[in-house]
Structure 1
Amino acid sequence: MIHFFGDLSTKVFAVVSSQKLSSEHIDKLSWLFGNKPLLNSASIDAFFVGPRAAMITPWSTNATEITQNMGITGISRIEEFTPVSENYTGFD
């Protein structure tokens, strides 16, 4: 399942987990992301730029390892996305 943390106007973190996150883990992840809250949504209807779905970034690998060191289990990937306008063309 995918959980979204952040602020739709500045940055969103997508967290892929194999299980539902406990409230303790949500609090830890919120802290890790600069006190950005969990967005209670299964999807986000907006335009964002981030890494390609098939490519796991080094940032994601490091962030995932940090969550393991924090005692959060079941996280397989974390990526960050930046909001852009609908007509944004500055990506490949």
Structure 2
Amino acid sequence: MGSSVQPLTPQPRWDRINSAEVIASARRIYFHFLECSPTHPDPLGVVIAQAPGGQGRVVFELPVLLPEEQFIPLELVRGRSGRSRSSRSPLRG
């Protein structure tokens, strides 16, 4: 109907944020969650506040965002599975 319909998955406003910092903060929050709650189901993503310090939380449902918040989907937090990575041996001397 009207243009006020929200997309199913809120997308980050890449034009308003430093994507490297936001994704790094989201990863820090997500990995902290995994350390504290290893048996919980996977969240949908991480909500990050744009305030300094990158405070945020993992979410299990699509969030209703405040104006200063960004939703980072779990796919971006974990990284793309199709991306090739250099193979570095831990035994390199």
The two structures share one fold, judged by TM-score above 0.5 = no
Larger Rg: 2
Bigger strand fraction:
1
Q: RCO higher in 1 or 2 (8 Å CA, sep ≥ 6)? A: 1
What range describes the TM-score normalised by the shorter chain of this pair?
under 0.3
